[in-house]
Copies of this chain bind each other. A is one copy, B any other.
Amino acid sequence: MGKQKAVVLLSGGIDSATTLAIALDDGYDVYALSFDYKQKHKKELKCAEKIAGHYNLKHKIVKIDLSWAKSALTDKKTKIPEKRKKIGKDIPVTYVPARNMIMLSFALAWAETINADAVFIGANAIDYSGYPDCRPEFYKAFQKAAMLGTKKGAESKTIQIKYPLINMTKSEIIKKGMSLGVSYHLTWSCYKGRKKACGKCDSCLLRLKGFKEAGYDDPIEYEGEV
- State the A residues within 8 Å of B (CB): 60, 62-66, 68-70, 91, 95-102, 104-106, 108-113, 132-133, 135, 137-138, 141-142, 144-151, 153-155
Contacts and interface: CB of A to CB of B under 8 A. Distances in A.
A108 B113 CA distance: 24
Total identical chains: 2
A188 B200 CA distance: 52
Contacts of A99: 109
Contact of A113 (B68, B106, B110): B68
Given A132-B153, A151-B132, A153-B132, A109 B66 contact: yes
A173 B102 CA distance: 29
Given A60-B68, A69-B112, 8 more contacts: A63-B65, A97-B108, A132-B149, A132-B151, A132-B154, A138-B149, A141-B145, A145-B145
Given A105-B98, A105-B105, A148 B154 contact: no
Given A151-B91, A151-B132, A101 B69 contact: no
Given A105-B101, A138-B145, A144-B141, A113 B151 contact: no
A101 B132 contact: no
A102 B102 contact: yes
Contact of A108 (B101, B112, B141, B149): B101
20 contacts: A68-B110, A96-B109, A97-B111, A98-B108, A98-B112, A101-B101, A101-B108, A101-B145, A101-B150, A102-B105, A102-B106, A102-B109, A133-B149, A135-B148, A138-B149, A141-B141, A141-B148, A141-B149, A142-B145, A142-B149
